[in-house]
């Protein structure tokens, strides 16, 4: 199954088609050096990309099908990038967690809920990944490896999304609050101008100052 152009209805979404692959080429998730090495003719960061389905046997052993990995950009015919449209497709990647959705910001043992751009870059999706470090959201940190989320903010505390109804699950005990903040989904191609950013309110763990 490979990308085969843009769907005229609805626009800004790709069409995918089934093709019979030549023998001897890499399947989805196998290593590659160039597009021609892959069944799908798509070598991205050294791995053959192809569509996959969560929970199906589409990936190699030790890999997981994760949503919204490979993003296709649809230019709207104007010089400004701010009106571009996006569509993100799933891909097989090395196993770094279940990838299960976590809309209530909760995951199973050993995993934490992280946020990712959704398939159209209009908001965030939340899914589970393996914990990186031991510390919960809002806890003091020096390095990314200190935090379960793998992200130590420049203000010196661990980033984590949270559930305002049950903040103790994701936030460190003590003087921590679960508070909604505006996070940038996409900067509209103008990183120095926040006025045209696409943003979404997301509850996160914050130290009380």
CA distances to 61, 135, 150, 171 from 112, in Å: 23, 11, 10, 11
- Is the CB of residue 64 less than 8 Å from the CB of residue 95? yes
Ramachandran sector of residue 8 (left: φ over 0; alpha: ψ -120 to 50; beta: rest):
alpha
pLDDT score, position 93: 85
Q: What residues does each domain of the chain span?
A: 1-95, 97-209
**Could you tell me which of 115, 67, 104, 109 has the C-alpha nearest to residue 89?**
67
Q: State phi, psi for 105 to the nearest 5 degrees.
A: 65, 20
pLDDT score, position 47: 84
pLDDT score, position 76: 77
pLDDT score, position 51: 82
pLDDT in tens, the chain (209 residues): 666 666 666 666 666 766 676 677 888 888 899 999 988 888 887 888 888 888 777 888 888 999 988 887 777 777 777 777 888 888 888 899 999 999 888 899 999 999 999 988 899 999 999 999 999 999 999 999 999 999 999 999 999 999 998 888 899 998 689 999 999 988 888 888 888 888 999 999 999 87
**Could you tell me which of 164, 171, 166, 165 has the C-alpha nearest to residue 149?**
171
- Is the CB of residue 60 less than 8 Å from the CB of residue 92? yes
Nearest-5° angle of CA 185, CA 194, CA 71?
30
pLDDT score, position 75: 74
Structure tokens at 192: 């120095």
pLDDT score, position 157: 96
d(CA 40, CA 87): 18
């Amino acid at each position: 199954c490979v990308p085969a152009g843009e769907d005229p209805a609805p626009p800004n979404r790709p069409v995918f088609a089934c093709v019979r692959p030549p023998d001897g080429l890499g399947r989805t998730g196998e290593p590659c050096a160039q597009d021609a090495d892959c069944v799908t003719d798509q070598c991205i960061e050294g791995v053959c990309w192809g569509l996959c389905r969560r929970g199906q046997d589409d990936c190699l052993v030790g890999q997981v099908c994760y949503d919204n990995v490979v993003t296709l950009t649809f230019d709207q015919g104007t010089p400004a990038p701010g009106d571009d449209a996006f569509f993100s497709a799933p891909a097989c990647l090395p196993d770094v967690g279940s990838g299960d959705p976590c809309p209530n910001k909760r995951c199973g043992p050993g995993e934490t809920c992280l946020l990712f751009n959704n398939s159209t870059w209009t908001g965030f999706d939340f899914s589970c990944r393996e914990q990186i470090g031991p510390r919960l959201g809002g806890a003091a940190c020096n390095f990314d490896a200190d935090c379960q989320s793998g992200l130590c903010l420049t203000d010196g505390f661990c980033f984590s999304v949270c559930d305002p109804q049950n903040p103790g699950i994701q936030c460190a005990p003590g003087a921590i609050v679960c508070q909604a903040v505006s996070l940038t989904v996409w900067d509209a191609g103008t990183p120095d101008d926040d006025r045209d950013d696409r943003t979404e309110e997301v509850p996160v763990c914050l130290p009380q100052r």
